[in-house]
Structure 1
Amino acid sequence: MSVSIDLSPRTRAKAPVPPASADERPSLIGMTRDELAVALADCGVAERQVRMRVRQLWHWLYVRGVGEFDAMRNVSKELREALSVRYTIARPEIVDEQVSNDGTRKWLMRFPARGAGRPVDVETVYIPEEGRGTLCVSSQVGCTLTCSFCHTGTQRLVRNLTAGEILSQILLARDRLGDFPDRDTPDGAIVPAEGRRVSNVVMMGMGEPLYNFEHVKTALLIASDGDGLSLSKRRITLSTSGVVPEIYRTGEEIGVMLAISLHAVRDELRDELVPINKKYPLEQLMQACRDYPGVSNARRITFEYVMLKGVNDSPADARALVKLLKGIPAKINLIPFNPWPGSAYECSDWEQIETFADIVNHAGYASPIRTPRGRDILAACGQLKSQSERMRKKDRVAATGSAEAAATG
């Protein structure tokens, strides 16, 4: 991330008039250092002090994890007040928090309205495992991809999330799990025994991250900044359904680990399961994976493959998968299908999944079978869908009395 700060007259905009509503204040969360410098200049900070004040804000936001300006103890009262008039650092509202029997946590978060829009809800999931805690982060409200096996794909796209809204999911999770200084882990919470509570971040929540590239890029560069949240890029994974041009940009401009939501080894079937394949077919997608900067046996691409009974789970499919990935340093995550209301698919039988795994393992690919986590709270892969969308459906059904309204969304 660039640390240069341009304070030339053209960037030092006149201090804005305080907005009528606190909800209209822009957030400092998600701003780059250059943008924070301009914000401080707008608040009257002398040019010679700006760099130092940027470092202070960065530390309070991302190392200490404060959610209110008054907690910034080494920042003057006058500056704290000036910042609070113009900006916010508040966390999103928690509409609902669910905890699975296996310790998985799902938060329904509400972000304020932007412009003429309405407040929006997204879901974020925390998955505790032995030695690590993985946070599944959303990049959009809804999705445009309409993958036929995915619950999120049945929700219309409302809007992209900002870099600040993406980062706020990480900050809120760290708040709730006691992963910042002076925070306590909730009683009974299942978290890693040592180290960080949130050690890994995966962009696998609601939305297609590469259709929100600039905001995702900014958020992940801030998340991996060594003076802040300091997440290793090897512990950040971006999952895409196959937006080929942006895969190249991801490697060059962000440099995080890559995962491909694959699910089929033939174009005709992938066209049905993952419709973006019609625009970027398998041949193009595989070439982008081969060309991904930094890919090696130490930095393998993960291929996600949901196991659908009688659809893509035959031994022939397994052998075709091995052939398809030839020459790509890869590992394969086999995902038992997680059912959701109205789905047309069933999960493959366990014996069939094990047979499939044996074939790809024998070919030298690490292919763990991902044990479903959080199914009882609809927090597993492909099950996320915001409560606001569910409520809109409920309201339409109530207004029309029609089952068709519930089915069409």
Structure 2
Amino acid sequence: MPLSLHDLTFDELGRLLADDGLRPVHAGTLWNALYFRAETDLLARAEREDWVPPLRRWLAEKTGPGGEYFIDHLAISSHIPSGDGLTQKYLLRLQDGQEIETVIMGYPGRYTVCVSTQAGCAMGCVFCATGQMGFVRHLRPGEIVGQVLHAQRVLRAKGERLRNIVLMGMGEPLHNYEQVMKALGMISDTRGCNIGPSKISVSTVGVVPGILRLAEEGRPYNLAISLHGSTAEERAALIPANQRWPLSDLIAACHTYGEKTGRKIFFAWTLIAGVNDTPAHAQRVAALLQGLKAHVNLIPLNETAGFAGRESAETAANEFHAIIQSAGIPCTIRQRRGIDVAAGCGQLKAEKTKKRREAALPVTAPVGLHLKA
């Protein structure tokens, strides 16, 4: 099976070239083209820049049609710009036909890309469109990196620069730990993309072994935890993974993480009307996070067809915010982005899958029949 060059670290790329009879020094030329230039046609760049003949011959032989290697230039299945003029939602197609979502979000003075780490998700969060569609497979490092390179090309075309990366798209990053950490190492490499670790956030629903591993390995990325419930029962109703990693274990892991790293933890709280948005909920959250270097991000619910919950009223959100703040915990109500293009995690793919299924149904299909897309 062909190997993606985007799956390789700088050192692995050098060893691959050496094994193929080339000088490892050529890894610098390739790495620059792959990650700094975000090149989609290596052979064309090699010809334009007159790379050394051995490297050009290697590219022609190894990366051409039927070659041993390829690059992860993800094809665009759908692209929908938001009416806010700041958000662009992409459905990107992988080599095996699977599709993942990537969202570019503009803020004053900066751009952020929201990246997927899995096709689908095994965590099953009831209010999340990705969780509703189930797990398909993990992404390779190159498929994660490929989303960042796509965002860089889009932004460079209009004279802008990518500043931040959030792993808050489709999938649970800590369920795909090895591939995600390898991808982030390549993305933050100063010889290529050079996105600093402080500009990268890894989001999790609370995979406790992954959180502890981040702490043990001293990973320098920001940690964001999807909390959403202030008691074990409340959280389990929204996040089934709470049954495997209970709230008490999660908070204990957060304390361990904080003690070992000294880093702040960002806690995401999706506000759902009448479910978790009351003053009592806010007071329990404040008590739960005492002793942690924490910041709470309040997120208005992105409503999906598979979940009956509704977005909280602005007054409820403001009161929740005030209670958290008064407890001495920094709290922000997150700006909404791209709601008109279903920019919430999994929503665009879910909508496209629904349309495919409807198109495939015969006119006389009985009620309740579902065909796989």
Q: What is the TM-score when the length of structure 2 is the normalising length?
A: 0.91
Question: How big is each residue's C-alpha offset from its partner over 1:290-326, in whole Å with a ceiling of 9 and x where there is no partner?
Answer: 1116644xx4111000000110011011010000001
1: distance between equivalents of 2:360 and 2:134? 15
Contact 2:361 2:371 in 1 (8 A): no
- Cα deviation for residue 389 of structure 1 reads 3.6
Identity %: 38
Question: What is the aligned counterpart of 2:111 among 117, 121, 133?
Answer: 133
Question: What is the aligned counterpart of 1:83 among 59, 62, 65?
Answer: 62
Matched to 2:103, the amino acid is V
1:267 equivalent to 2:232? Answer yes
Instruction: Look up the match of 1:105.
Output: 88
1:177 equivalent to 2:162? Answer no
1: distance between equivalents of 2:272 and 2:189? 39
- Cα deviation for residue 87 of structure 1 reads 1.1
Question: Matched residue of 2:127: which SS?
Answer: coil
Contact 1:372 1:380 in 2 (8 A): no
Q: 1:236 to 1:37 in 2, by over 3 A?
A: same
Matched to 1:83, the amino acid is K
Question: How big is each residue's C-alpha offset from its partner over 1:338-381, in whole Å with a ceiling of 9 and x where there is no partner?
Answer: 11224210111110110010000111222111122100000035
1:278 equivalent to 2:254? Answer no
Question: What is the aligned counterpart of 1:57 among 27, 30, 35?
Answer: 30
Aligned length: 361
Instruction: Look up the match of 1:380.
Output: 344
Question: How big is each residue's C-alpha offset from its partner over 1:12-63, in whole Å with a ceiling of 9 and x where there is no partner?
Answer: xxxxxxxxxxxx5321012112321332134331xxx21x112221111111
1: distance between equivalents of 2:37 and 2:254? 37
Instruction: Look up the match of 2:190.
Output: 226
1:30 equivalent to 2:12? Answer no
Q: 1:333 to 1:384 in 2, by over 3 A?
A: farther
Contact 2:75 2:92 in 1 (8 A): yes
Instruction: Look up the match of 2:288.
Output: 324
Instruction: Look up the match of 2:135.
Output: 157
2: distance between equivalents of 1:324 and 1:395? 48
1: distance between equivalents of 2:345 and 2:314? 17
Moved more, 249-258 or 150-159: 249-258
Question: Matched residue of 1:269: which SS?
Answer: helix
Q: What is the TM-score when the length of structure 1 is the normalising length?
A: 0.83
Instruction: Look up the match of 1:368.
Output: 332
2: distance between equivalents of 1:40 and 1:240? 36
Moved more, 68-77 or 336-345: 68-77
Structure 1 runs not aligned, ≥5 long = 1-23, 114-118, 179-183, 192-196
Question: How big is each residue's C-alpha offset from its partner over 1:215-261, in whole Å with a ceiling of 9 and x where there is no partner?
Answer: 10100111111211111111100000011001112234432110001
CA RMSD of aligned residues (A): 2.2
Structure 2 runs not aligned, ≥5 long = none
1:247 equivalent to 2:211? Answer yes
2: distance between equivalents of 1:344 and 1:130? 34
1: distance between equivalents of 2:62 and 2:242? 46
Instruction: Look up the match of 2:99.
Output: 121
Instruction: Look up the match of 2:78.
Output: 96
- Cα deviation for residue 124 of structure 1 reads 0.4
Q: 1:90 to 1:285 in 2, by over 3 A?
A: closer
Contact 2:127 2:304 in 1 (8 A): no
1:41 equivalent to 2:18? Answer yes
Contact 1:105 1:126 in 2 (8 A): yes
Question: Matched residue of 1:158: which SS?
Answer: strand
Question: Matched residue of 1:101: which SS?
Answer: coil
Contact 1:393 1:405 in 2 (8 A): no
